[in-house]
Amino acid sequence: MQWPGSYCDTKQSCCYPTTGKPETNFGIHGLWPNYKDGSYPSNCDPDTPFHQSEISDLISRMQTSWPSLACPSSNGLAFWSHEWQKHGTCSESILPQHGYFDAALSLKDRVDLLQILKSAGIQPDGRSYSLSRISEAIRGATGYAPGIECNVDASGSSQLYQIYLCVDKSGSNLIKCPVLPRGGCSSNWPASYCDTQKSCCYPTSGKPAPDFGIHGLWPNYKDGSYPSNCDPDSPFNQSEISDLTSTMQKNWPSLACPSSNSIAFWTHEWEKHGTCSESVLDQHGYFEAALNLKEKANLLQALQTAGIQPDGKVYSLESIKGAIKEAIGYTPWIECNVDGSGNRQLYQIYLCVDTSGSDIIECPVFPNGKCGSEIEFPSF
């Protein structure tokens, strides 16, 4: 299930369906047959295409509960066709096309996620809630632990995006997930920011180099949570980093729309995250530390040395993690997003550093989220 506000409130965009703005509720993303290790089959029967006539009696319910927010605006048919052909065909020995969509709709009706969260005092009001509180509210109501996926809003803040629940082979009963998805709740690959169902805009300084760009340097607690906006009396001051600006334009570019000089992005990163490290790193030291870490890690070179190229091919998640660990000595965490065709692709790589911001260390915990065992490394 995905939260429409988090699909739309990003640095990119969304488009409401041709039927109008969806209701304020979780919408279905998909019903995906998975293996017990978390990987999944796909496109299992090209001879069974999506037929709208098979689900004519479900259309009005699907427009309400399974809307497409992709641009340009649509009636949802392309989205449903994709879900059936990529995922539904892998369950058709049990669920024919009508049964597949009906099962997903029935599960959504039975598991009223928004009501569950509201009953626990968790409202879609723009406030922050702990991940454990959200998880426990859903677990308390359903009896099973959910997977929680976050994305990043237009200001760079993590927000609740999708909730994953596991069901049995019949598609009708919730079960305990054999594994939970992992995902972001960093350095990012620019092609994966841009190659989505949404869009990106190059900085006013031009298209960035085909290399990982810095997302941020974020002080965290050992349990994975983090402080934020620690000193409102210490605003971003561009003059403090005037000697770093050209380096930052190359290594820390904003891809948000509309095109910009990235100052707003850096302002956000300092005021939300940097101010929580200023007892150790002043403003200049904070940005310089992030730039030095990027240069030291050299993630693209680490991958290319292992034969992993940004060529649009698919690589195993383990080979990507192994290449980076081999090069830097520490395990990274990998975040994926989904391209315009629904394929999972390498998006961000997280590394942990010590409190000085200068040395890479082993991460005490990793974020939650979902990637898959095989992911694409798109060209840029």
Supply the residues annotated as catalytic: 215, 269, 273
For every residue of 259-301, DSSP letters joined together read P--SHHHHHHHHHHTGGGSTTT--HHHHHHHHHHHHHHH-HHH
Dist. CA 189–CA 294, nearest whole Å: 13
Give how far the C-alpha of residue 161 lies from the chain's centroid of Cα atoms, to the nearest Å: 8
134: which 2 tokens? 């959200």
| Contact call for residues 370 and 333 (beta carbons, < 8 A) | no
Q: Is 192 exposed, middle or buried (0-12, 13-18, 19+ CB in 10 A)?
A: buried
- Nearest-10 Cα torsion for 234, 237, 240, 242: 160
Ramachandran assignment for 152, one of left (phi > 0), alpha (psi -120 to 50 degrees), beta (any other): beta
Number of neighbours of residue 48 by Cβ within 10 angstroms: 14
